[in-house]
Amino acid sequence: MIVPPPPSSSTMMAVIIAGLLCNLNFLMAQERTGHLRGRVELKQPVMGDSRIISKDISGVYQKTATLAPSAYEPPSFVVYIENAPFTRRGQPSERSAKISQDSSAKKGVLARPRFVMDQRDLTFAPHVLPILAGSTVEFPNSDPVYHNVFSFSKTKIFDLGRYPTGRTKAVTFNEPGLVKVYCDMHSQMNAFILVLANPYFTLTDEQGNYWIREVPAGTYQVKAWFARLPEKTAGVTIRGGETATLNFEFP
C-alpha cells in the first residue's frame, strides 16, 4: 500500500491562503449587493374586472359576473427596479430576483427561464406574470373547451390559434414591455405579461409585502405596477450588505 507523503508546509500555506482569498471574495461579493423590501398598500379596491364565478353541473362554464368590490381579491403588484445593471452572461447579477409566486423562478437562476400561464376555469392563471426578457411562457389549456391565446401588444404580437384541452403552446418574449393577453373565444379572458430588462423584480404577496434580494449596490428608480392603476415610481439607494425599505401607496 502506498501512503501519500504528508503535504509540505509550503503546500499547506498555499491551501490556507487560497481559503482566505475565497472567503474574502465571498465577503466582497456580499458587500457589493444589498436587498430591497417593502409593502404596497391598496387603499381602495380596483373596480371594473370581470371574472367567471360559477359553472354548470356538466362542467361547461356559463356564467360571468362582475364581482362586487368587497369580493375582489387584492391584486398582486409587480415591483421592479428600472435601471439596475444586468448582463446576461456569467455575471453574479444573473441570479434571479426571487419571484414570490412562481415556483419555476424560485429555484434560482436561469439564463432563459420558462414560465407557465395556465388557462383554467376560463381565466388565465396567473393574471399578472412578470418575466425577464428572453424568457419563454407556456400556455397550456387545462379547460374542457378550446382556447385561442393572442396579443396585439406592440411588445409582442402573436396568435396561437385554437387548441384543445391537454395541449400547450409557447411564446418567447425578447423585448421588454407590456403584453396584454386575450382569448379569441372568451372575451372575458385577459392577462398581463410584463417583460422586464433585469431580474430585479417580484410580485407582492397577499399582504402586499415584497422582497427583492441581492441587488447590486446603487441608487435606483423603483416602480410598482398594476394594470388598472397608474404606475408609481420612487427612488431608493441600496447599500452593500444592507436592506433598504421602500413602501408604495395606491391610488
Contacting residues toward Cu ion, per CB under 5 A: 147, 183, 185-186, 189
Residue 245 CB neighbour total at 10 angstroms:
10
Cβ of residue 245: shortest distance to Cu ion, in angstroms? 41
Q: What angle do CA 173, 130, 109 make, to 5 degrees?
A: 80
Q: What angle do CA 221, 43, 227 make, to 5 degrees?
A: 55
C-alpha 32/C-alpha 217 separation (Å) is 6
Task: Choose between 149 and 215: whose C-beta lies nearer to Cu ion.
Answer: 149
Cβ of residue 166: shortest distance to Cu ion, in angstroms? 15
C-alpha 237/C-alpha 206 separation (Å) is 26
Task: Choose between 6 and 59: whose C-beta lies nearer to Cu ion.
Answer: 59
Cβ of residue 54: shortest distance to Cu ion, in angstroms? 17
β-pair type (190-196, 128-132)? parallel
Task: Choose between 186 and 223: whose C-beta lies nearer to Cu ion.
Answer: 186
Cβ of residue 160: shortest distance to Cu ion, in angstroms? 11
Cβ of residue 149: shortest distance to Cu ion, in angstroms? 8
Task: Choose between 147 and 223: whose C-beta lies nearer to Cu ion.
Answer: 147
Are 235 and 35 in contact, with CB atoms under 8 Å apart?
A: no
Cβ neighbors of 65 (< 8 A, separation 6 or more) are 50, 51, 53
Task: Choose between 36 and 137: whose C-beta lies nearer to Cu ion.
Answer: 137
